[in-house]
Amino acid sequence: MEIAKYSKEDYLTTIYYINKKKSSDELTQKLLALGIQIRKINILRLCELKRFDVIHSHCFLPDVITAIYILINTLIFKRKQNTISTVHSDYYYDMKDKYGRLSIPICSIWTFSLKKFKNRVFLTEYLLDKYIGILGSSSKIWNGLDIIPSELDCEIEKKIDTFSNGRRIAGAYGVLRPLKGFELIIRASLYIDDYCFVIAGDGPDKHRLESLVSEYGLESKVLLLGRVSNVHNYIRKFNVMLLTSYSEGFPLTGIEAIWSGVRILYSGISQHKEIFRKVDAELFESGCHDSLIELLKKKNMSEISLHNKGYYKKFLTSNAMYEKYKILYESVS
């Protein structure tokens, strides 16, 4: 969606979708107001794709559908088109975490589909290096995000303020899945008295995390907020932003943390190291709560980074991302 907002200045842009959530209605209206066509894809509409100079796909099902179109186009009509897929995650790791053994056929189908594209885009150098030997010609383009602050929900703000009761806040948010590493925060909180900990989000790991908080008697130290709309706005309530993932594509939470200027502590996975290497941020050993505890116990650390705010504006906006995609579009056309 972010790419489409900027590409309309250079291309006649149409977005095709498979399913649309009710929550996307407001965004859909904004895109339509910008002159971007939005259409639901089906078998009959595949033939519409032949009129585009570039077809850019995202995620598993769109990639599979586009690959089917490429095969039909190539084998039956003897016609080639410029096709690009952006791979948003370390999909072998991600699918295994989500689906276990079922990930094997899913990843096989996805890999087969991705090989049919003219070019693939990965979000970090680590993922590019990991998959280029499997998939062939690929590029790296960082994610970008236009972040617009908005008013906080009074009830949620009050809940955080009441819980913190004047204590410093170490915060994190995201989908509650084992690979996000939120359990590490709960375990670290056992040994930290200077902070309370706020985790926002919902997901399949929710009940296990709630059980851990209860088991360790940490209800006064760890607040599980649940799902929060526009959650990035609440970073302003945090003294420290925690990024604890064991794997990532290119975390939007990372962009939002840099944008905020708040102190950042991040797990030492390769994707995080690439994103944070030129900003003010501190690394702890991935999966090691002792390493995280050591950083949290550091005193007199600057908590607002003007450098990070400037870095966001220069390198991590949607426009910065689109300019790189524009170069790629022109190179394949």
Alpha helices, DSSP H, located in 58-124? 60-75, 91-99, 103-114
Residues 6+ apart with CB under 8 A from 226: 200, 201, 202
Q: Answer yes or no: is 149 within a domain.
A: no
* pLDDT digit string, tens, across residues 239-249: 999 999 999 98
Residue 52: CB atoms within 10 Å: 16
266 and 255 in contact (C-beta within 8 Å)? no
Closest residue by Cα to residue 118 from 96, 103, 137:
137
pLDDT (tens digit per residue) in 220-257 = 999 999 999 999 999 999 999 999 999 998 989 999 99
Domain contains 194:
yes
The pLDDT tens digits of the residues spanning 155-210 come to 999 999 999 999 999 999 999 999 999 999 999 999 999 899 999 999 999 999 99
Kindly state whether residues 14 and 51 are assigned to the same domain: yes
- Number of structural domains (the chain) is 2
Whole-angstrom distance, CA of residue 137 vs CA of residue 174: 32
| 123 and 242 both lie in a single domain | no
Pick from 284, 274, 285: nearest CA to 315:
274
Q: Which domain holds residue 324?
A: 1-144+317-332
- Check whether residue 20 and residue 48 sit in a common domain: yes
User: What stretch of H or E contains 266?
Assistant: strand 263-267
Write the CATH number for 219.
3.40.50.2000
For residues 162 and 278, state if they share a domain: yes
User: Does 121 lie in the same domain as 22?
Assistant: yes
Say yes or no: 282 and 194 in one domain: yes
Answer whether residue 8 shows pLDDT above 90. no
CA 239 to chain centre: 22
